[in-house]
Amino acid sequence: MAQGTASDKSELFIKRAKQFNLAFIASITVLFVVCLALYRFFSMPVSAKLILYVYGIEIFTAVLGYTVAFIVRRKLFPVKTSEEYWSYTAVRRYFWSYVLICVPFAVAFVFFIFAGSFSALLLGFFLSLCGLIVFRPRKGDVI
């Protein structure tokens, strides 16, 4: 059986990494749609001050997650295909970057479960969605 070249392997890997990114986008979108469907069961009156605190937490976690993802992208990529376990290393770096980028949505989701604030959920969703779009895999990540 013929072995692919390093270029073929890296192109295939980037294709799969983009699908991994789309899986994260799809998962938070599905959770968001489910929350929309359940909104009338969870909605409660919440003080504006508490919602502002949650906004602040979401924005802080978004800035922190974006910063760490940017540092990972800048310092730990590209991954060389000549190394042993290069694909495992690259997937691990993508995974933890995406998890950190999705933290604002996680905060918003937990707050939605306890207080039913749609605006906080919407902000967390868009912060995480934008981060996942900005930090999607590129061809130069694996060489």
DSSP 7-65: HHHHHHHHHHHHHHHHHHHHHHHHHHHHHHHTHHHH-----HHHHHHHHHHHHHHHHHH
For residue 3, what pLDDT band results from cuts at 50, 70 and 90?
Answer: low
For residue 140, what pLDDT band results from cuts at 50, 70 and 90?
Answer: confident
> Rounded distance, CA 81 to CA 127, Å?
32
The answer to whether residue 16 scores a pLDDT higher than 90 is: no
Instruction: Name the domain count of the chain.
Output: 1
CA atoms within 13 A on the CB side of 48: 0
Q: Average pLDDT of the chain?
A: 87
- Determine, yes or no, domain membership for 43: yes
Give the closest residue to 51 by CA, choosing from 100, 102, 108, 104.
Answer: 108
- Boundaries of domain holding 61: 6-141
Q: Which two tokens stand for residue 38?
A: 């359940």
- Determine, yes or no, domain membership for 1: no
- Determine, yes or no, domain membership for 29: yes
Sign of CA dihedral 107, 111, 116, 118: negative
The owner of tokens 């061809």 is 139
The answer to whether residue 24 scores a pLDDT higher than 80 is: yes
